[in-house]
Structure 1
Amino acid sequence: LLQERQLIYDFMYKHKKTYSVGKICKYLKVSRNSYYHWKSVKLAKKKDSRRTVLVNEIKRIFKNSRQTYGSPRIQAELEKLGYKISRAYVARLIKAENIRFKPKKRFVNTTYSKHDYKIEKNTLDRQFKVEQLGKVWVSDITYIRVNDKWIYLTTMIDLADRQVVGWSLSKDMTYENTVLKAWNTARKRRQIIH
C-alpha cells in the first residue's frame, strides 16, 4: 500500500503541470493533504541532500586551500564546478558548519641591522658585469614552505655566465647547512679557487 501511494504521488508530481492536483486526487481517490505532505517531505530531503553535497564540496575546497579560503573564494571555486550559489549562502553554510579559516601570517623581517658586529666592506659595490668565470659568486637563501614546515634553498651563482654553480637544501638556517654546503658544491662543480 505504501509503495502504491509513492507511485501515485510520483505520478502526480511529474504531471502536476498537465493535470490539476485536485482532479488527480479525486480520480485516484487520495487526499490532497497527504499529497502536499509527501511533496514537502520530498523537497526537504532534496534540499538536505543538496546541502550535504555543498557542505562536502566546501570542506574539500577549504582543505585544499590549506584552510585559507573564505566565502568569496570558496564561492568562486564552486561556480567553476558548476554550482549556482550566492556568496551569502556559502557564508551561512561555513558559519553553520563552524569552519574557521587561518589567515596567512604576515611577513616578518628576519634581518636585524641594529647590532655591534663588524660589517664587511661592500667590495662588489653593485658591479654585476663580470667577464672572468669564477671571479665573483653571489648567493641568496630562499624560504620554501613544504606542508607545515620550512626548508631553505641556498643558491650560488657565477656572475660571469649567470649559471647556478652551487646549491643546498636544508631544514635549518645554520651556516654549515646553507652557505658552506652551497660553497662546497660550487667549488666541486667549477673547480676554481681564488
Structure 2
Amino acid sequence: TWGGSDHPYLDGSGPTHKKSRGLLCQGTLMRFRFIETHRQEFRLDVMCRVLDVTKSGSFTWQRRPTSTRELQDTVLTTEIGQLHATSNGRYGVPSVHAALREQGQPCSRRRVARLMAAAGLKGNDRKKYKCTTNSGHAHPIADDLVQRHVEVEQPDTVWAADLSLLPTREGWLYLSIILDLPSRLVVGWAMRDRLTTDLPLAALQM
C-alpha cells in the first residue's frame, strides 16, 4: 500500500529522507537532479515533499535541454566516482581534486566538493597509527614490583608510566606521562618530536 499516513517514507525517517536531507541546504537545481536520478527508487510525490519542491517544477525541469555545464558535471562526477572507488573510499575532496589536476582535468576544489556532496561521496580516513613498542629486543627487563595490583590507597606509593604517540599537523609527537595510581593524577610529563631515552627521564624528573 503506497497511500495513507502509514507510508514508510512519509514520516521523514525512510531512505528518501536520509539520502536527500543534505540537499535541502543546496539549490533547487540540485534537488531536481536528485529526483531524476532516483525516479525508479522512490515515489515522485514523496521526493517532492521531502525536498520541498513542486511536481510541476520537476516536470518542467525534465523537459528543459541539458546545458553544457550540466554535461560537464556529469562526466566529472563519473571520473570522481572512479577515483573514489579506486582508493577504496579513502579519497576525500583534497585527494580527489589533486588526482584530477594530475590527470590534466581543470576544475576547482569547490566544484569537486559540490559534486562529491551531490553524489554522496566522502573520504574515509584510516586511523593514524604508528608502532612505538618493540618486544623483540635483548635489553634487560625490569621486575614487575606491582604484580598488576593497581588498587592502591596511599598516594605517592605507586607510580605508573606510559608513552603515547599523538598525530599533529606538524607531525608525530611523543608524550610520556607519570601517573600516581591512587589519585590518578599526572605527576610528571614530557613531550618530544623524537622517541629517545631522555623523554621518560624528563617526565620522571618533573
Alignment TM-score, normalising by the size of structure 1: 0.46
Alignment TM-score, normalising by the size of structure 2: 0.44
Structure with more helix by fraction:
1
